[in-house]
Structure 1
Amino acid sequence: MSDRHAPSSAPTHDDVLRLRPDAPPPAPRALPPAKPPRIEEVARLAGVSPITVSRALRQPEKVAKDKRERILQVVAQTGYASNPHARALRSGQSSVVAAFVSNIFSQQFALAVQGCAEVLEPQGYQLMVGQTSYSYAKETSMIASLRALRPAAVLFTGVIELEENRQSLRELGIPIMETWAYPRDPIDMLVGLSNYDAGFMAASHLAERGYRRVAFMARHGGRGELRRQGFAAAAAQRGLEVVAELAVDNPQTIADGRAALARLLSQGGKFDAVFCANDLLAVGAMFEARDRKLAVPRDLAVLGFGETDIAGEIQPGLTTIGVDSLDLGRRAGEMLLQRLGGGMPAHPHQVMPLRIHARASV
């Protein structure tokens, strides 16, 4: 494909993975979600009054043990929603928007959720946040829970790769917002960025600064791999030699960045710059370089991705590529709010502009 080499002024689509089961069984016809039971039905089945059901769930010590156990058994059998939003859930008018973040430690994801909340909360919606930890198993479990929760909408700091999960989300019949990538086929709405272009921009920036032997490190798979593809394409075009590459499983701390640079250096190849496609890795690499008496950028230039606050505080200052995460969240919130009000955004698939925040590390 021609657009996998030199991005034009238009953002480049990310070739996001689409994962299907190896041998999927025939899919049964999807049934509409069952109407959740009312408290009166629970009371009838348990042989008590509705007020006794409410008291058993909220003040169990005030209900006799035999009645309480009978009520709890009926609740478990019927799936009665006894949380504070039960009335909204029963009416189908939930005020909850579920936000699933890939990494709860990420400042960028936190800013996006904050931006979304700033738009939705004044209109009576509440964000409920969960963490997928880049885990397919956690993602699948959380998506399965949505049928019982019945939120008003769902936001992901990422895009869904498993086809069965994509289908499960479609069947919910609610607004779905994906972010942080630019696939050709989002489930519903998207406020994303081209990870391929981010990698391409990184290698181009290093080439413009005169570096020729470079290294790359990122989270294993997903967006890390998309950024690697763009980085490799620009490196080949600009005559850079990619001396070393490293994929890290679910980096969550600065220590992961320290260990990653140590592993790259142990491979023996000499490089004069490294692109860390994750700011946690980049900050850790800066600390590791300092402890090894490597002057940044004289001995080793470090380029990050994400624009964390610490990038401007660490010496000599970390150059980063990124997007305005707070604005991303606000855009997502505005689009969700329009859909929740019965409208349709004029542009349901938006792409955030990438930017370089130049500091002294490159």
Structure 2
Amino acid sequence: MIGDPGGGFVSPTFDQVIRIGRPVTPENGGERKPVRIEEVARIAGVSPITVSRALHQPGRVSEEKRLKVQQAVEVTGYASNPHARALRSGRSNIVAAFVSNIVSQQFGLAVQGCAEVLEPRGFQLMIGQTSYSYARETSMIQSLLALRPAAVLFTGVVELEENRSFLRELGVPVIETWAFPPDPIDMLVGFSNTDGGRMVAQHFAAQGYRRVAFIGRSGGRGLLRLAGFRDGVRSAGLKLVAELSLDTVSGLSDGQRALNQLLDSHEKIDAVFCANDLIAMGALLEASRRGLNMPGDIAIAGFGDSDLAAEIPPGLTTIRMDCRQIGRRAGEMLLARLNGETDGSSSETVALELVKRGST
């Protein structure tokens, strides 16, 4: 939930996460593709994970649902992945945690929170870094066949349809985080990046800034935060002077270079929204190096509330979420599923808060 100006709460906005590689079907002009588990689930009126359980662990599914799945399988001619089917026995106590950036404080807190829940119950987290790379993500997901994990955690959401289907076929609990799409693979603990971007635009407007700019990654959550920022800018009557997209973000120098490029290319910018704190802190350092007064000459806001956000003068205004709570809640949901206490897809969100500091 997020706060509204009246002191109440409003429901979070769904993030319109991109989906890459949707299957081509005869209806949209291509050759017929193998039936996917999502189609069986749609016809049966159940979740994809329930289909997987009905096929591989029928004792964990009610008779009514099992019969619906069986009928849907017969109608569609669905044939499950034999490699995934082989996973139904001999799983380990490993929970595979795929982290977008292993040096991120926010992701580290989430993984730590998840471990605090799972490890006392005999599970161990094994961490891999995807580095925001589709190729790395695909390779690591495919390695799950050999690892045979008890469950899978992502600090993000999976965009490739092939990988989404692969994960559903594994028949193990999968939990995604850090966004709020309407169609998670299985379970989700996230927040609306769209709302976060909108909150920054509203804050800029309330502070009297009129010419604003955006810096963020060219894909993933960067695009979601940009979408919300654009919407907030339009609603507040601000002028979006520039949008600068970065293919990768690996250090403070990326933010420094980005701010340089913005300031060298545009005559006047009142405020800049950086889609993560790493970019924003680099921008703060560069603005200081140039001798700019913040927020008098330029205002800068970030997203994430890292520890350094309050320490780099004059202090970074940013969007805060409880990262450890994201991880703890993810661990609790996984544990409940692994213990057979819950079944079916579920989504939860955590609150976002704008923390105002001297940079705006």
Which residue, 349, 352, 357 being the options, matches 1:351?
A: 349
- Kindly indicate whether residue 12 of structure 2 is the aligned counterpart of residue 11 of structure 1: yes
Residue aligning to 1:336:
334
Q: Of 231, 234, 246, which aligns to 2:244? A: 246
Report Cα offsets for 1:86-108 as digits up to 9, x if no partner.
xxx99524110000011112111
Deviates more, 1:207-216 or 1:279-288: 207-216
Which residue does 1:195 correspond to in 2? 193
Q: Distance in 1 between matches of 2:325 and 2:261?
A: 36
Verify: 1:276 aligned to 2:274, yes or no. Answer: yes
1:142-183 per-position Cα deviation (integer Å, ceiling 9, x unaligned): 111001111000000111111110000000000000001111
- In structure 1, how many angstroms separate the alpha carbons of the residues matched to 2:20 and 2:350? 26
- Following the alignment from structure 1 to structure 2, what is the Cα–Cα distance between the partners of residues 345 and 261? 48
In the alignment, the residues of structure 2 paired with residue 303 and residue 124 of structure 1 have an alpha-carbon distance, to the nearest angstrom, of 41
| Counterpart contact for 2:84–2:145, Cα < 8 Å | no
Do 1:244 and 1:269's aligned partners in 2 also have CA atoms closer than 8 Å? no
* Alignment of structure 1 residues 138-287 onto 2, 5 Å: 138-287=136-285
Q: Percent identity?
A: 59
Provide the TM-score with structure 1 as the length reference. Answer: 0.80
Alpha-carbon distance, 1:270 to partner = 1.1
Which segments of 5 or more consecutive residues in structure 1 lack a partner in the other structure? 1-7, 37-88
Instruction: Give the equivalent residue in structure 2 for 1:57.
Output: none
**Match of 2:19, as an amino acid?**
R
Residues 84, 171 of structure 2: 8 Å contact kept: no
SS in 2 for 1:20: coil
C-alpha offsets along residues 167-205 of structure 1, whole Å, 9 cap, x if unaligned?
A: 000000000000011111000000011011011001001
Matched length: 303
**Which residue in 1 is equivalent to 2:319?**
321
Q: 1:356 is aligned with what amino acid?
A: L
**1:272/1:98 Cα in 2 relative to 1: closer, same or farther (>3 Å)?**
same
Q: Which residue of 2 aligns with 1:27?
A: 34
Residue in structure 2 matched with residue 85 of structure 1 by the alignment:
none
User: Using the alignment, how far apart are the partners of 2:23 and 2:343 within structure 1?
Assistant: 36
User: What's 1:128 paired with?
Assistant: 126
Q: Taking structure 1 as reference, are residues 90 and 223 closer, same or farther at Cα in structure 2, changes over 3 Å only?
A: closer
Larger-gyration structure (1/2) = 1
- Counterpart CA distance in 1 for 2:88 and 2:194 is 44
Secondary structure of 1:305's counterpart equals coil
| Cα deviation digits, residues 8-56 of structure 1 (max 9, x gap) | 81110011111116868733833333788xxxxxxxxxxxxxxxxxxxx
Taking a change above 3 Å as real, the CA distance of residues 290 and 32 of structure 1, as seen in their structure-2 partners, is same
Alignment CA distance shift 1:342-1:256 (3 Å): same
User: For the structure 1 residues 294 and 119, does the alpha-carbon distance in structure 2 shift closer, same or farther, using more than 3 Å as the test?
Assistant: same
2:306 corresponds to 1:308: yes
3-state DSSP of counterpart to 2:266: coil
Q: Secondary structure at the match of 2:149?
A: coil
Measured in 2, the distance between the counterparts of 1:203 and 1:270 equals 17
Q: What is the CA distance between 1:322 and its match in structure 2?
A: 2.4
Deviations 1:189-245 (A, max 9, x none): 000110110110010011111111111111111111111111011111101111111
1:86-105 alignment runs, 5 A limit? 92-105=90-103
Q: How big is the shift at 1:293?
A: 0.7
Amino acid at match of 2:105: Q
Structure 1 residues 92 and 218: CA distance shift in structure 2, 3 A = same
Q: Which residue of 2 aligns with 1:45?
A: none
3-state SS of paired residue (2:132): coil
RMSD of aligned Cα (Å): 2.0
1:37-91 deviation per Cα after TM superposition (whole angstroms, max 9, x unaligned):
xxxxxxxxxxxxxxxxxxxxxxxxxxxxxxxxxxxxxxxxxxxxxxxxxxxx995
